[in-house]
Structure 1
Amino acid sequence: MFFEGAEKKAEIQINIGQISLLKDIKDTFWQAMVTSCNAQIISSINNENCKAFLLSESSLFVWNDRLLILTCGETQLVNAIEYFIKKIGKDKIKQLTYQRKNEYFSHAQPSCFGDDIKLLSQYIKGNAYRFGELDGHHNFLFHYENNFIADPEDKTYEFLAYQINEQASNLLTSKGITALAIRDFLSINKILPDFIIDDYVFQPYGYSLNAIKADRYLTIHITPQADSSYISFESNMDLMAIAPLFIEILKPLSFDILSFNEHSFSNKTTLFKEANYLSKSLVQQTLPNGYHVNFANFILPQLEFTQPIQVHIEGENNAL
């Protein structure tokens, strides 16, 4: 069974003097926005600073001055962005970034990054970049130009693991596995003491977690199937410091790190090189809005031959 785990991601910051997303917007608005991109809200948690929604495809986080939404599968996240712009108004938006990473089967998606930014460009003007090479892992990024200058302490991190080892895949696809067992496997309670946690095990496979504490958040999404395993971690905590633990647990054949405003990025990648991973792609750019973006793809060199994957002719077209 194949599922496209790669996420599309958007962050929108608004003028808090005009509206508070946390206080002035009802949950029915978020439900409609999520539905517009072909996803559903499963559950939610909240504290004084943040409300986190677990979705049928990834997550939505809402603070007073911003929102973060990630969706996977065949969702069209750009439709949710369009919904937000139409309902809330372009004049209230201070900053908007939209990201889309390379998919396993991009031809099975209802749109591509180019289609998405053409739609967004009907409402807002901005610049687009590709971080990474076309023949490997890469991220497309579009950002709205609106005379906005980012806070240098506004840091976020993404850690994306591919082709996890057989033992991890077998455990995460085992029949009847519980959310508690997955949290124990990933050492979540050790990493997130005193966090409010909301998680869900999908059938037949898959897992999502949202965790919040004050204004801090972490979200995890797991597609564990051996042929297309993919696990994503997104947070405003320093994932580069935590990543070695996840690497030891999952032993992926490759992983990506993407950060905003982590100026010690190069120094922190030393930990990955010590674990015998090689950097295949290193890209950095300071955007006109002040965000300093770093992207790196690391691979584990293969020293032994493996067998080819047999593709079933009668299987899904996107796998052929």
Structure 2
Amino acid sequence: MSSELSMKMSIPFFFEAAEKRLELHLKTTTNTAEKVNLLQYADDFWQHQLNHCGATILTQLKNPHCHAYVLSESSLFVFPHRLILVTCGNCPLVQTATALIEYFGVENITILDFERQQEQQPQYQLSQFVQDAQQLYAKLGGAGHSQNRKFRYFTATAAHSTATSEKLQLSKLKGPHIAAIQKGLFNKSELQHKLGLKQFAANYHLNDWLFEPMGYSVNGLNGKQYFTLHLSPEEESSFLSLETNDRQLSQRLSSYLLQQFSPLQYNTTLANLQRHTVAVD
């Protein structure tokens, strides 16, 4: 890790909760010898890719459909032919994105979706979205499209994606629990209860991490269904995010979280990658 990266990722007085997100789809082929299954890649491979953005695998949860990793900065989900990587803080996610492009080759990538939320303190980021988009555009041979802090690349032969996820993001949290969470009064089991996970995600296998001095991340798997929840309770930048492909869980848990944390700001997003967004010949 460069000294500049180490310095900027260790800024003591502010934690940037705004997220960066990468979703990458690889080509599937009928040629068994050429078929890539990302679930066959070892943990060391993913850690090597994460080194480019300064993230570390803390703990993991696996089933036959997905490998889920809680990171020092959010989460990584690996499926047979696609991955979802979410980071926060000052992680330069674009560096891992470009490393993955180089490793798998542009010719084997059918969809790349990269987005960044607006940071509260953008001056502490190693790059801005426009620079990231330019870097991705160059790596993908001058192809792709950027708009509203999202960069998207689709090949003309990309299959229509049926992978739909729903996202909820809450900021400036209030409500009865946030002060106690900020003081570190809850353990992991108690946080699962306060966040509604024991009630609404009882059929999920959970894997979580409680950060010091504050912060909480949890991944859940239930067959092909997944969710990830991240809580950054710092008073100056409190933030909670939920992403899942389980619509029923999304509806029930989102309603509960809105009631419990009374955010001053929130938004919901339905992410369904569409081939016609942009086609690359």
TM exceeds 0.5? Answer: yes
Report the AA paired with residue 61 of structure 2.
I
Question: What is the CA–CA distance in structure 2 between the aligned matches of 1:288 and 1:37, rounded to whole Å?
Answer: 27
Question: What is the CA–CA distance in structure 2 between the aligned matches of 1:77 and 1:181, rounded to whole Å?
Answer: 31
Deviation at 1:106, TM superposition (A): 1.1
Deviation at 1:48, TM superposition (A): 0.6
Total equivalences in the alignment: 256
Question: What is the CA–CA distance in structure 1 between the aligned matches of 2:173 and 2:180, rounded to whole Å?
Answer: 11
Report the AA paired with residue 47 of structure 2.
Q
Conservation of the 8 A alpha-carbon contact between 1:127 and 1:145: no
Question: What is the CA–CA distance in structure 2 between the aligned matches of 1:190 and 1:245, rounded to whole Å?
Answer: 10
List runs of 5+ in structure 1 lacking aligned partners. 131-139, 263-285, 290-320
TM-score (norm 2): 0.86
Within the candidate set 107, 111, 136, 1:91 is matched to 107
Report the AA paired with residue 154 of structure 1.
A
Q: Highest relative contact order (Cα 8 Å, sep 6+), 1 or 2?
A: 2
Identity %: 27
Deviation at 1:75, TM superposition (A): 0.3
* Equivalent residue, structure 1, for 2:89: 73
Post-superposition CA distance 1:186-244 (Å, at most 9, x none): 11022112211110110001000111111111101111022211111111122245321
Report the AA paired with residue 277 of structure 2.
L
* Equivalent residue, structure 1, for 2:278: 288
Post-superposition CA distance 1:34-56 (Å, at most 9, x none): 11101111011100100001100
TM-score (norm 1): 0.76
Question: What is the CA–CA distance in structure 1 between the aligned matches of 2:278 and 2:144, rounded to whole Å?
Answer: 10
| Partner secondary structure for residue 139 of structure 2 | coil
Instruction: Name segments (4+ residues, structure 1) moved above 4 Å.
Output: none
Question: What is the CA–CA distance in structure 2 between the aligned matches of 1:11 and 1:152, rounded to whole Å?
Answer: 12
Structure with higher helix content:
2
Give the 3 Å change call, closer, same or farther, for CA 72–204 of structure 1 in structure 2: same
Conservation of the 8 A alpha-carbon contact between 1:53 and 1:59: yes
Report the AA paired with residue 147 of structure 2.
Y
List runs of 5+ in structure 2 lacking aligned partners. 1-12, 30-34
* Equivalent residue, structure 2, for 1:49: 65
Question: What is the CA–CA distance in structure 1 between the aligned matches of 2:228 and 2:201, rounded to whole Å?
Answer: 11
Deviation at 1:16, TM superposition (A): 2.9
For the pair 1:28 / 2:44, whether they are aligned, the reply is yes
Conservation of the 8 A alpha-carbon contact between 1:169 and 1:225: no
Post-superposition CA distance 1:250-285 (Å, at most 9, x none): 1111101111249xxxxxxxxxxxxxxxxxxxxxxx
